[in-house]
Chains A and B, each alone.
Chain A
Amino acid sequence: MSTPDIQASQANKNRTGNGVAASVQRVGRFLSGMIMPNIGAFVAWGLITALFIETGWLPNEGLAEMVSPMITYLLPLLIGYTGGRMVHGQRGAVIGAIVTAGVIAGASVPMFLGAMLAGPAAAWVLKQFDKAVEGKVKSGFEMLVDNFSLGIIGAALAIVGKWAIGPVVTQLVNWAGNGVDFLVNHNLLPLASLIVEPAKVLFLNNAINHGVFTPLGSIDVEETGRSILFMVESNPGPGLGMLLAFMVAGPKMLRGSIPGVAIIHFFGGIHEVYFPYILMKPKLIASTILGGMTGVLVGTLMGNGLSGPPSPGSIFAYFAVCPPNAIVGMLLQVTLAAVVSFVVAWFLLKTDKTTRKENEEFDAAQAHAAATAAA
């Protein structure tokens, strides 16, 4: 069998529960789809926070005044706008932003989750209205109906947002925050890696990172200037360790491609490129889980955190949003995660019978080719 056939058959065999995975992916995509187009704004906010707050690189009280309006208004409005657009185009986007403004006014914490709820919901209501009146508006009155339906429904839903969604979601966010604090304070956050690392390679990486960790982490930043939650999924260490182990102990016919893959993963931050190697040898998931847990444990013990979401999860992004007094801890967190992942993956590959057999066949084929060439 050629390299590709072996890869394809192994990967297919390992693709279990695909129907479930696809639907979970779709839900996750809906959540992360509201955040990801706005990552640039998160980066701007993260940079300003990392630079100008009291514990930042260049503390500046005046410039730090931008931090609060950005997280309170700019980011939730962008999310509500984008969420609305996903459901009902430009009109959905506008009403999503209107209702998000209501939710913000009714809340006492940054309203990412409120915006992710209110934006699409408001757009859905407007979509139903637009469907109901489609074709029934007298010629020449379309603009009047369009603008005032959006304005009136938007104003009404903004009141609902202020009175109902804002306070309720504030409560939910406080509970979620307390839950996370509990995990962090009891050093239990590493357990998250048990779910996060397997979910990542099923292409739920964006859903988990931007659907869950980015919104919750941003709230942490408002309180303490940094959050460890940004470093749970995005740590490029575990993937790097696994790839390096693959390079020295994996199937020989695949080793050649690893350096390029490792560079794209670690420096370019596109983690997807390492998923296929775990899907080929599923037991390697143990290496990224243990590497991830190590990283998170080191991070919680050292009080690490980033000022904004490092997206994509590249080491450069890590440096860009890392507060000055957390650089050493961050490097330790990434490095130890990589080392643990490397050691576990190396052991698993060395003891893997299929890999040994593949490599024997590969060596034999090479020897045969060399002998033929010599003759």
Chain B
Amino acid sequence: MPTINGSDVKRVVVACDAGMGSSVMVASTLRSKLSPLGIEVVHTPVDEIPADASVVMCHQGLAQRAQTKVPDTVVIPFAIFMGDPAFAKVENAIKTGQTLES
């Protein structure tokens, strides 16, 4: 299982099926929390996740496809689109340098 230390995270990619709807919404929420920390947050379709992503976040229904696309990148799934604890987990790990794992 791929892992990454929170302090090494540079680029968080939020993925959804089309890369046009829910991922844009989640990315903009996440961006407001993470860009003050110098982290870039982008959104893409799940089949076009770039190789230079530090961490990928997507709904758990798409997590398998995301992990297949980038087998060596940490994929953090979430269950609900607003207020899911996975978002806080990633934010905390980045702030405190904890390890994140797929």
Interface residues of chain A, those whose CB is within 8 Å of chain B, are 2-4, 7-8, 11-12, 15, 18-19, 21-22, 25-26, 29, 32-33, 36-37, 202-203, 205-207, 257, 260-261, 264, 268-270, 272-273, 275-277, 279-280, 312
Could you write out 29 A-B pairs with CB less than 8 Å apart? A4-B79, A4-B84, A4-B86, A7-B80, A8-B60, A11-B60, A12-B60, A25-B62, A26-B65, A32-B17, A36-B20, A202-B61, A203-B17, A203-B59, A205-B17, A206-B18, A207-B17, A257-B82, A261-B80, A264-B25, A264-B82, A272-B21, A273-B80, A276-B59, A276-B80, A276-B81, A277-B80, A279-B79, A280-B79
CB-based contact B45/A203 at 8 Å: no
Instruction: Assess whether B16 is interfacial by the CB under 8 Å rule.
Output: yes
Docked pose: A12 CA to B18 CA in angstroms: 23
Contact with A along B16-28 (1 / 0, CB 8 A): 1110111001000
**9 closest residue pairs by CB, A with B:** A4-B85, A272-B22, A276-B80, A273-B81, A7-B79, A270-B21, A11-B79, A203-B61, A36-B18
In the bound complex, how far is the Cα of B65 from the Cα of A2, in angstroms? Answer: 28
Which of A25, A261, A264, A273 is B17 in contact with, Cβ under 8 Å?
A25
* B18 vs chain A, min Cβ distance (A): 5
By size class, the interface of chain B is: 20 to 34
Q: How far is the CB of A38 from chain B (nearest CB, A)?
A: 11
B25 contacts across to A, CB distance below 8 A = 264, 268, 270, 273
Query: Are the C-beta atoms of B80 and A272 separated by less than 8 Å?
Result: no
- Is there a chain A Cβ closer than 8 Å to B83's Cβ? yes
A33 touches B45 (CB 8 A): yes
Count the A-B residue pairs with Cβ separation under 8 angstroms: how many?
85
The 8 Å CB contact of A270, one of B22, B64, B65, B85, is: B22
CB <8 Å contact, B22 and A273? yes
Please tell me if the beta carbons of A273 and B61 are within 8 angstroms of each other in the complex: no
Q: How far is the CB of B59 from chain A (nearest CB, A)?
A: 7
Could you tell me the distance in whole angstroms from the C-beta of A200 to the nearest C-beta in chain B? 11
Task: Contact check, A206 vs B82: say whether CB atoms are below 8 A apart.
Answer: no
Please name all residues of chain B whose beta carbon is closer than 8 Å to the beta carbon of A29 when the two chains form the complex: 17-18, 45-47
Q: Would you call B17 and A206 a contact (CB within 8 A)?
A: yes
A206 to B22, CA, bound (A): 12
Distance (Å) between the CB of B76 and the closest chain A CB?
12
Distance in angstroms between the alpha carbons of A277 and B61 in the assembled complex: 13
Question: With A and B bound together, what is the CA distance between A22 and B59 in angstroms?
Answer: 13
Measured in the bound complex, the distance between the Cα atoms of B21 and A294 in whole Å is: 26
